[in-house]
Each structure stands twice: as C-alpha cells, then as structure tokens.
Amino acid sequence: MSKSKRYNMEIVNKYSTKEFEDKYTYTENDLGANWTKDKTVFKIWSPVAEKMSLNLYRTGNATEDTLISSQEMKLEDKGVWTACVKEDIKNVYYTYTSVIDGVSSEFCDPYAKACGVNGKRAMVINLEETNPDNWDKDSNPNEKLPLCESFIYELHTRDFSADKSSDIKNRGKFLGLAETGTTVDGEGKIKSGLDHIKELGITHLHLLPFYDYATIDESKEYDSKEYNWGYDPLNYNVPEGSYSTNPFDGDVRIRELKETIKELHENGISVIMDVVYNHTYNEDFCFNKAVPGYFYRMDKDGVMSDGSACGNDTASERSMVSKYFVDSVLYWAKEYHIDGFRFDLVGLIDVDTINKIREGLDKIRPNIMMYGEGWTLNTKLTKKNVLLATQKNVDKLNNFAMFSDNIRDAIKGSVFEEDEKGFISGDTEGYDELKKSILGLPDWSSTPNEVVNYTSCHDNYTLFDKIHLCNEGISFEQAVKQNLLAISIVMLSQGIPLMHAGEEMLRTKEDENGEYVSDSVRSSDYVNSIKWDNLKKKEYYDVYEYYKGLIAFRKAHKVFMMSDAKEIKKKISFIDTDDEKVIAYKLIEDDKEIYVIFNADDKERDVKIGSENDVFKCYINDKKAGNSELESCNGVVSVKGTSCKVLIPVLNNGSRISYN
Ligand code: CA
C-alpha cells in the first residue's frame, strides 16, 4: 500500500489515541461566528494548525476579490483558535486560512450558519432577523402522534414543482413546497402540490437533503438539466442555495426555508430532514482542511475507507466529529423546528453518537422522529470496540427506526436484481419474511416502532417501473393491480409506513430514450419531476383515490398501528390458506374482527374466513379502498386476482348475524 500523499500519517495516526482526545476534545457550544451588535466572536477548532487567520469579505461569491481585512487568530485551550471583531459586522462574509505543515489553505467555517453563493464563504448572521412572524408560536402539528400512526411521504424539493403541470409559482424552490390553492395545470379541478398531499392524508413530509450541497452551480440561472438528489454535503448547517430565490444573499435561503416549514406546520404537516453524516462530497470538505485527516476513516497508510461508496467515510467515533454531528442535528431541530431526521447510511455511524443525538433531541421537543438506513457496510473504524448503528444493533439505540428491506424486497423482489419478482408478481420466496413484516417484527426488531415499512423510495427503480421490468410484457391494468397490492401490504402492516412521492400517480422515471432510470441522482427534470397532469387521467386518479382510501382506513383502525409485540401476537392471527400466494389474517379490535386477504395469484381465489351464513362487509377490494361499505359477502370470500380484500363481520349484540 502506498503512503498517503494527502495526509501526514504521523499526525493522523495520533488522532485516535486517548491522549489526543483527552487533550483536545472541546465541549463548549460556541464554535463558529457568534454575532452581537457590539462584537462578533469567531472560534475554530484545529489543534494541528501552526497559524490561523480570519478573512472578512464584502461579498459571498468566492470568485469576487472583495477582501476587507485579514487578522491572525489566537490559539486558546483545547486547540481552539479565536478572534473578536469589535464592531457590528452583521452580513459580512468570512473564511479562515490555516497554515499546517507549512502549507496554507483557505476554507469556509465548518460551523457556518449562513453562506454566500456556492458555499465557499460563510456569513455573519443575526438569525433572529430571519424568523417569520410568530415563529416562536410555530410547533410540530403531530407532536403527540404515536410513531406508527404517522404516514411519511418521501420527496425531493425540486421534483415536487419542477413540472409546469404543478401550477406552482416557485418552481423547484423551498417556497414551492408550501403554496396552497394550486390545481393540476391550473384548471381548478384536481389539487396539486401541498393541497394534494394534505388531501392524501400524510402526516410527515420527508425531504431529501436540503442542507447546502455541492454539485449544483447556484450562480447560474435555473437549468432544467442540472439536477442532484443532494447526497453531496458541503455545508451541513446551511440550507441549499439553489432552493432559494436568491442564493447570493446569505439571509434569503434561511428565511424562505423557515417560512416554508411554518406554512407546512400550519397545514398539519411535519417536516423530516434527510441528513447525510456518513460521508462528505469530497476531501476538500472545510473541517478536513482545518484538521487534515481527522474527519475520515483510513488505515495507517492513509488508504481511505469507502463503505459509503462515495469516496470517504466520516470517523464519527472521534470525539470532535461526533460532537459536530450532534451539534448539527440539534441546531436544525432548534433553529428550523425540524420534526424528524432520516439518517443516510446510518450503519456507518456509531451507536454512541446516534444516542447522544437522541438524548439532545428529547430535551428540545418530544417526539422528534429518527430513522435511517441501517445496512451493514464494510468500513475501517479508527478505534476498537465501536458499535455501529446497523439494523442488528437497533436494540442498542434509543427510539430509532430502521428502513425494512425485508418487506420491500419480499413485496416486489430485490432492488439489486431488476428481473427478480416478489410476492405481488406471484413469487412466494419472501412468504415467511412477509408474514413477519406484516406483524412489524422482522428478525432484527422487537417492536414496530423500530420498523419503517416501504416498497419504494428515491433509490432504485420506481415501484411501477420495477413491476414492468420483472414482468416482461405486463399489461397496464395488471401492473396497476400489482402496484395497489404492494401499497396495500405496506399500509396494512404494523410499523411506520413510508411512500415514495408520486407512487400514488404511478410515477415512472423514464428517460428521453424510453429507458427506465434506476439511479436518477443526476438525471434531468424530465426523468425526475412529478408529472401532475397524470392525475387528469381516470386510471391514474383511481390509483390516487385508492392510496388515499388505504391511508384513511388505516387511520380509522388503531389495530394496524400497535407498538407492542405481545399485543400484536395476541391480536393478530394468520389464517391457513394452504397456498403461499394467498396471505390472510385476522385482527381483533375491541369487540370487532377485521380480516385482511392478499391474493398474489393472478386468478380469483376463494378464501374461507367464516361460514356461508356469516355476513361480512367489505371496505377494500380490487377497485376501491376506504371507510365506506363496498359490498357484502359471506364467510367464503371470493378475492379477485392480484388484489387485496378487507372485511369486517356484521355483528348483532356481539354475535355474528346470519343470512338465515
Ligand atoms: Ca449548494
């Protein structure tokens, strides 16, 4: 193995020693620029710098030579450098310049709260001035909602409003998330945007990363071909500039994001932020310039760990990296009133850091959601005895849920094998896994509170595309049936349901050549944007109504939202159907029984759930879902091919009534 060209390994190999951590772990909460009218105090942590300077600029664009002044900073305790400017420098931009090993480099403040265009210069800010009116009265509208009673909608900010059919004025922007009164193509019949998701009945909007990310050039005009999901973190504590109406002015994106969150809250919707602490965009990350090599996992020769498959893994097990992540999450929760956090590849972050975040969040507000991707990945830890926040360690975490690939793959087949089928296509390999998932208890979990159920998200093919790929030549009608069966399983299982935005409109990610795109991270709006005008077609509108009906039905029956494993085992029992293509179960809610049947065969099946004299009312069938009675039948139920049926027996004085 070659020695690192980038890092002085003699220094890097000391970072993980107890001596280094004891000597240089800084525990105060004042890193960054702290503005008051009389003075601004700057603090930056770098125990390895020989010299550190503060540079003040008139403008935030790093291509403009607008330096006001530079001053040397003073080294204080624990490797913290400080400077104080004794005048009002609100809205002045700044950077730091370090000299390390004789080499000087200029970088943005890792603790920047505001910055200029493209995030190269930080800005001194009075955050109070960015607050909307009555911000102090703003709160999480679902603060008291138990976890499993939430409905999460996973959305990319730009996808929501990039297409003209959305009728949204602030296309591709934060503000576009919060516009009300919009209708598809502005025709006034079918709702779009925020009104649409409200009507659908979701409670939580999970937004793909919206901290300042690297690859979109914010200085250019709106370009419909330039696009990124945002898993390329640049400034962790600043909102992304391309989602604001003016990325040049450091105040604007902050104010617009807060206004958006407040508006969503007022419409009953909580906001979940997708956070990516497991890797940075690249090694030019500002913290890594301040303390080279400290932020990442690498072996003794400087070979970088790459469990994230993004070129680097952050070393969350080091005290100041851990502190940085904790400080960052708590800052978003406090300053922006964020109601939940989705952790990208959380299986790369250590359990202690995640539990510290949990503890901090619990002190801010009750019921701030935390969940993430707990996949087990190969990473080079810099210390011994570090536990990682993987699915199998979920019991070591406090109130943290994991995405369930168990239910996802059992429903539709592996996301890694495009032609592999799942239950909805009649493949029963995942039968046992599916039954465990229906109870919200895959092998790694002990309560549905730890389980996020989904069948598709931004990653991989959309559900509708996957169905087409693994069922060659499938008809539109049959593909719709499989789609509805898939979401029925998610909505009628124990756990926290999450859906991919647009799934309720049969979202596809087809490119200009008619090819389905699996990884649309850099694809154009053409591929990624939500095409609202689909809702004008009857077959698509029926699908949307079905999703809405499923959510409404689940909301009306708490027995689908239990959190205790013992109670679940007491109240849910599977019915022997003697056929792995047909899963049927009974739930007991108070004095009532609810029967759920999933028929994955494409042929109609009879399923016996009672006698021929019993009377059942059906609330969900192959065509409709909701809380109104669709049809009556007896205890031998005919279930259409590739469909779900939900029935409740009619009772009289607590006993089943009979046709006789
Ligand atoms: Ca950016």
Nearest Cα neighbor of 286 from 549, 610, 557, 62 is 62
Q: Would you state the pLDDT for residue 655?
A: 74
CA of 141 to the centre of ligand 1 (A): 29
CA of 241 to the centre of ligand 1 (A): 5
Tell me: pLDDT of 469 over 80.
Answer: yes
| Secondary structure of 97-154 in HEC code, one letter for each residue | EEEECCEEEEECCCCCCCECHHHCCEECCCHHHHCCCCHHHCCCCCCCCCHHHCCEEE
Integer angstrom CA distances of residue 191 from 268, 319, 426, 588 = 17, 49, 35, 36
Q: Would you state the pLDDT for residue 3?
A: 57
Q: Which two tokens stand for residue 455?
A: 């069948």
Tell me: pLDDT of 425 over 90.
Answer: yes
Tell me: pLDDT of 53 over 70.
Answer: yes
pLDDT digits (tens, 9 = 90+) for 276-286: 999 999 999 99
Tell me: pLDDT of 658 over 70.
Answer: no
Q: List active site positions.
A: 344, 373
pLDDT digits (tens, 9 = 90+) for 231-250: 999 999 999 999 999 999 99
pLDDT digits (tens, 9 = 90+) for 579-634: 999 999 999 999 899 999 999 999 999 999 999 999 999 999 999 999 999 999 99
- pLDDT mean over 344-355: 98
Q: Which two tokens stand for residue 403?
A: 């995405």
> Sorting pLDDT into bands at 50, 70 and 90, what band is 1?
very low
Q: Would you state the pLDDT for residue 651?
A: 81
Q: Would you state the pLDDT for residue 4?
A: 74
Q: Are 645 and 621 in contact (CB under 8 A)?
A: yes
Burial 182-214 (b: 16+ CB within 10 A, else e): bbbbeeeebbbbbbbbeebbbbbbbbbbbbbbb
Distance CA(598)–CA(575), nearest Å, equals: 12
Tell me: pLDDT of 373 over 80.
Answer: yes
Q: Would you state the pLDDT for residue 278?
A: 98
Question: Residue 496 gets which letter from DSSP?
Answer: E
Tell me: pLDDT of 659 over 60.
Answer: no
pLDDT digits (tens, 9 = 90+) for 263-273: 999 999 999 99
> Sorting pLDDT into bands at 50, 70 and 90, what band is 350?
very high
Handedness of CA 166, 169, 175, 181 (dihedral sign): negative
Q: Which one-letter amino acid corresponds to residue 218?
A: E
Q: What angle do CA 220, 225, 226 make, to 5 degrees?
A: 50
- Residue 101 CB contacts under 8 Å (≥ 6 apart), including other chains: 8, 50
- pLDDT mean over 165-173: 97
CA of 242 to the centre of ligand 1 (A): 6
- pLDDT mean over 509-537: 96
Strands (E), 214-280: 233-239, 270-275
Tell me: pLDDT of 321 over 50.
Answer: yes
Q: What is the mean pLDDT of the chain?
A: 96
In the β-sheet with 32-35, what is the strand arrangement from edge to edge? 32-35, 40-45, 80-85, 74-75
User: 């013992």: which residue's tokens?
Assistant: 566
> Sorting pLDDT into bands at 50, 70 and 90, what band is 225?
confident
CA of 235 to the centre of ligand 1 (A): 8
Q: Which one-letter amino acid corresponds to residue 86?
A: K
pLDDT digits (tens, 9 = 90+) for 111-160: 999 999 999 999 999 999 999 999 999 999 999 999 999 999 999 999 99
CA of 86 to the centre of ligand 1 (A): 31
Lowest mean pLDDT among 216-225, 236-245, 407-416, 544-553: 216-225
- What stretch of H or E contains 488? helix 476-491
Q: Which two tokens stand for residue 327?
A: 């400080």
Distance CA(431)–CA(647), nearest Å, equals: 22
Q: Are 510 and 516 in contact (CB under 8 A)?
A: yes
CA of 158 to the centre of ligand 1 (A): 14
Tell me: pLDDT of 652 over 80.
Answer: no
Name the CA dihedral angle for 203, 206, 207, 210, rounded to a multiple of 10 degrees.
110
CA of 337 to the centre of ligand 1 (A): 21
Q: Are 498 and 448 in contact (CB under 8 A)?
A: no
- Listed residues: CB within 5 A of ion ligand 1: 212, 241
> Sorting pLDDT into bands at 50, 70 and 90, what band is 221?
confident
Q: Would you state the pLDDT for residue 523?
A: 93
How far does the chain reach from its first CA to its final CA, in angstroms? 83
CA of 267 to the centre of ligand 1 (A): 28
Q: Which two tokens stand for residue 582?
A: 């047909």
CA of 220 to the centre of ligand 1 (A): 12
pTM of the model: 0.97
Q: Which two tokens stand for residue 51?
A: 């010299």
Q: Would you state the pLDDT for residue 2?
A: 45
Please list the alpha-helical segments (H only) found in 557-640. 565-571
CA of 118 to the centre of ligand 1 (A): 5
> Sorting pLDDT into bands at 50, 70 and 90, what band is 660?
very low
